[in-house]
Structure 1
């Protein structure tokens, strides 16, 4: 009769066979700022050619309903994030700019219109970057009454079967440098501004959509 020591034993699991411990971060709830950052990454990947139009649309739709960091990470794990030029926050830092406006208001930095319409207008505060995405929707940006907190404001646009309208006051400098496929990107607003006035750079792309920049006089105060 065989003793217990003579019985065959299962081999010890190889290191590669050991279960991978779950990442606690993947279960944490994501905030709107986290979803907006992923939208920026996807837009930059689309502009660079790392994502096709259909892939961009599919992933953008998933970002809107994502609830955890794990769901967001799945949408960007195969992208060269470090090569896309998207400013990444440091650990413990929010995606809100560190520029401190005189009014104390938080700068508007992101607007997403997904089969809807959103706007930026009135007495709002802007920092050095504003991301605008219109996916089968419309983004209306009116900066005539805005509080500028940086010498250069870069508006990064992504218009996919949608439209982004940007209205600026007559005294700012404007530099438009985007591209369009089966759409339009531009306007007649490009040109220098008054001495000391901020400059607005409009970059990005329009795919079967349009980005238009125009100058208008400020509304008279009553």
Structure 2
């Protein structure tokens, strides 16, 4: 870390602090709730000065023992089922959302997002896939649909994370929104 707290933090700086938090969680120095709270602070920090207090009470870890702090890719599957992912959870930079003959509902509004840009690969077949994004998110839709409905209404304005939606849907409904009025969580 640098001595100048006013310098802008990079993704690599945030990932380093996240690795320290991951080691602290693995060794029992932090609870899962403390880890999630601090991790959210890491990925919303803009300057180096904002990162320093997050790990002040934790030991530094060497690069050799640093775990992979950020899950670069994860898959959430729903096959002949209804799967709901909501609440406080750690998303990855690249998340594949796969729905087959079912429903997949993913709420990112309370999730910890690792970095300023994430990609959601929305792959739906004969299903319903609904994603709720944070209120300040910028969303870019780069996907397509065949014999289905694709409604991405979140927009490109906002100062929050950039969420890139890719993938294809066939005979399915894919909805990406900020509001909760369009979906049923029950």
TM-score under structure 2 normalisation? 0.57
Deviation at residue 216 of structure 1 after TM alignment: 2.9
Post-superposition CA distance 1:176-213 (Å, at most 9, x none): 1211111012331121221xx21111111110001110
2:96 equivalent among 131, 142, 146: 131
Secondary structure, counterpart of 2:92 in structure 1: strand
Flag the 1:100–1:159 CA change in 2: closer, same or farther, 3 A: same
In 2 relative to 1, CA 99–118 (structure 1 residues): closer, same or farther, beyond 3 Å? farther
- Which structure is richer in relative contact order (CA contacts within 8 A, separation 6 or more)? 2
Partner residue of 1:207 out of 159, 170, 185: 170
What residue in structure 2 maps to residue 172 of structure 1?
137
Q: Tell me the CA shift for residue 127 of structure 1.
A: 2.2
Runs (4 or more) in structure 1 with deviation over 4 Å come to 104-108
Per the alignment, residue 193 of structure 1 pairs with 158
Give a deviation string over 1:38-60, Cα, whole Å, max 9, x none: xxxxxxxxxxxxxxxxxxxxxxx
Instruction: State the distance in 1 between where 2:112 and 2:179 align.
Output: 16
TM, length-normalised to structure 1: 0.49
Is 1:152–2:127 an aligned residue pair? Answer: no
- 1:67-91 alpha-carbon deviations (Å, 9 max, x no partner): xxxxxxxxxxxxxxxxxxxxxxxxx
RMSD: 2.6
